[in-house]
């Protein structure tokens, strides 16, 4: 029996990123067990620790890919704590990550605790624009700042916000950096679009 179980676990690890899925499940469960639900306009926070598996080739700090990977955990936590995930299921819709822009400001050294704060900055009829920040609690420094665009499939993002807030809600003004980022994505889309000769 042990050999069969070991074989199954080996296959799972060979063909799937098991630790990724376990971390998502763990993060969402911890949120459900120990945290209150929040409004979709409120920030959410998860915590992490830079360990040996997170290191770059120099072996001293978190590699860039780990930052992006951790954004998924924070995003799923945000979806669950704000009720967005439940609303997506109710509407039979999904969200896709359409764009991400990350600015690395300072490394996260090995054996350092950090937190990731996620906050909805803006929305339109198609998408949510979320800011995520990697912050080291011991000094309050923002180690990385991230803007992401999540597009709703088969549902309107603005209607979902209205439902989750229990009525019409004042849309925040675009921050200057988010406005420029949205315009840069529009310019990029235009440039990549095939043009007829």
pLDDT at 110: 97
Rounded Cα distance between 172 and 121, Å, is 7
- pLDDT at residue 158 greater than cutoff 70: yes
Above pLDDT 70, what percent of the chain?
99
Domains in the chain: boundaries: 2-174
For residue range 94-118, what is the model confidence (pLDDT) as tens digits?
999 999 999 999 999 999 999 999 9
Those residues whose C-beta lies under 8 Å from the C-beta of residue 131, and which sit 6 or more positions away, are: 118, 119, 121, 145, 146, 147, 148, 178
Tokens for 73, please give them. Answer: 């955990």
Q: What is the pLDDT of residue 197?
A: 62
Q: Which CATH architecture does the domain made up of 2-174 adopt? A: Roll (3.10)
What is the C-alpha separation between 152 and 125, in angstroms, rounded? 9
Strands (E), the chain: 44-49, 94-104, 113-123, 127-136, 141-153
Name the more confident of 194 and 129: 129
Instruction: Report yes or no: 155 and 93 within 8 Å, Cβ to Cβ.
Output: yes
Cα separation of 69 and 71, whole Å?
5
pLDDT band at 2 (very low <50, low <70, confident <90, very high): confident
* pLDDT (0 to 100) of residue 181: 97
The predicted structure's pLDDT at residue 161: 95
Report pLDDT for 168: 80
Mean pLDDT of the 9-35 span: 95
- On average, the pLDDT of the chain sits at 95
């Amino acid at each position: 029996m042990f050999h069969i179980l070991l074989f199954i676990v080996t296959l799972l690890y060979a063909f799937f990123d098991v630790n990724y899925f376990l971390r998502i499940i763990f993060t969402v469960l911890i949120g459900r067990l120990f945290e209150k639900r929040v409004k979709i306009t409120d920030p959410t926070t998860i915590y992490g620790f830079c360990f040996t598996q997170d290191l770059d080739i120099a072996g001293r700090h978190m590699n860039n890919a780990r930052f992006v990977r951790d954004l998924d955990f924070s995003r799923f936590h945000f979806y669950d704590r704000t009720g967005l995930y439940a609303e997506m299921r109710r509407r039979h819709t999904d969200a896709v990550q359409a764009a991400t822009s990350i600015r690395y400001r300072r490394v996260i050294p090995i054996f350092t605790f950090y937190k990731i704060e996620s906050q909805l900055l803006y929305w339109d009829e198609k998408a949510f624009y979320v800011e995520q920040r990697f912050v080291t609690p011991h000094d309050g420094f923002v180690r990385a700042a991230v803007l992401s665009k999540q597009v709703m499939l088969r549902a309107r993002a603005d209607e979902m916000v209205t439902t989750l807030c229990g009525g019409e809600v004042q849309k925040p003004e675009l921050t200057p950096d988010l406005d420029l980022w949205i315009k840069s994505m529009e310019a990029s889309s235009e440039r990549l679009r095939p043009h007829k000769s």
